[in-house]
Amino acid sequence: MKCKTLLLLSLVALALIPSPEDAGAAEKSAKLTTVRIGYVSRSILDMPFIIARDRGYFREEGLEPELIFIKAAQTIPAMLAGGIDFGTATGTAITAALSGIDVRVVFAMSDKPSFDLIALPSITNLQQMRGKKLGITAFGALAETLAREIFLANKLPQEQVTFIPLGTSDVLYVALKAGTIDATMLQIPQTFLAIDEGFRKLASGADFYRAVQGGLTTTKAITSERPELVTKTIRATQRALRLIRNDKKFAIEFIRGPYLDLGKDRDRHADRVYDAALQYYLQTGTVDEKLQREMIAVAAQRVKPKELPPPERVFDFSFAQKVADTMK
């Protein structure tokens, strides 16, 4: 009996010893560095981060990704508190940098804003926005800047429009449909859905203002103290973008999935969303100094800093350029 008991215990002990494969996997997992990204929309501009996570590109860079859906206005406080490493609200980061906060835009997803000004069917032109309520994600966000540039170009006094910050981008379309607001700035795919449902497109943001939309922002501390984290995060993102460009079948199947809000007719919208996305994504993840200075000047109209900071105080595309050069 004693011998049988000893044999049984030996077998149990052997069963608990991990195989070389399991041990190797555990060791590899233990070495992964957590990277937390606060993304602010379920649009084509944040889609690459989800794909990079699901396809394992972050893990192949030695990173364990945590993607957190948050309000644009929360990205800067979250980064400063160490809650996230990166944010995707580039407009918010530029405003913060002009306010003296030490953050940088390190990757540009697009230099052509995908926001359109969408209004209730009863509003047929921009001049009818006088006295109306416009929903935005947050003050200082790109959607607000674009709306103000549209009104300025059309000689519509901005003080005659009430700007209402509502938080995350998915809330804006809901508020428009509920009649809580009269108009809002929507992105693809919500722009397609809204127009199909009878809402009116008053203007396209890209026609009035060229700007970085989407991408990655982080603190100066991270670029200085953890440069490899920045490089690896950008490289994983660029691999996802390359997959989207080169594998249309995969990309469209992903678009049909639960990530983007395509309404009931997903098959009809998926191809439209894919074709539109390819027009927006930048190849290198960088923009020229001229555009950087233009964005700083526009943001300064609202922030009113004592003096305009140089581009390197707001942008740092050295990491993105390095990744782009190695992926050619």
**What pLDDT shows up at residue 43?**
86
Instruction: Give the H/E segment covering residue 70.
Output: none
pLDDT of the residue at 204: 93
pTM of the model: 0.81
- Give the pLDDT of residue 260: 81
* Preceding amide of 189 cis, omega within 30: yes
Nearest alpha carbon to residue 138 among 173, 97, 185: 185
CB-count burial class (<10 Å; 0-12, 13-18, 19+) for 307? exposed
Those residues whose C-beta lies under 8 Å from the C-beta of residue 148, and which sit 6 or more positions away, are 158, 302
Report pLDDT for 29.
53
Residues of the chain with pLDDT under 70: 1-30, 263
Indicate the angle between helix axes 227-246 and 47-54, nearest 10 degrees.
100
What is the pLDDT at residue 23? 45
Start-end of CATH 3.40.190.10 domains in the chain: 34-112+211-326, 116-207
Structure tokens at 288: 């020229």
The per-residue DSSP string of 277-310 comes to HHHH--SSS---HHHHHHHHHHHHHHH--SSPPP
Q: What is the 3-state secondary structure (H, E, C) of 40-57?
A: CCCCCCCHHHHHHHHCCH
Res 5: pLDDT? 43
Residue 14 CB-half CA count within 13 A? 6
Which residues have C-beta within 8 Å of that of residue 28, sequence separation ≥ 6? none
Smallest Cα–Cα separation from 173: which of 152, 157, 189, 154?
Answer: 189
Phi, psi angles (nearest 5°) of residue 116: -120, 145
* 116-207 CATH fold: D-Maltodextrin-Binding Protein; domain 2 (3.40.190)
Residue of 55, 5, 66 lying closest to 32 (CA atoms): 66
CATH 3.40.50.300 describes domain 34-112+211-326 = no
Q: What is the DSSP string of 136-205?
A: ES-TTSHHHHHHHHHHHHTT--GGGSEEEE-SSHHHHHHHHHHTSSSEEEE-TTHHHHHHHTT-EEEEEG
Contact 48, 107 (CB under 8 A): no
Helix, strand, or coil (residue 88): coil
pLDDT, position 30? 60
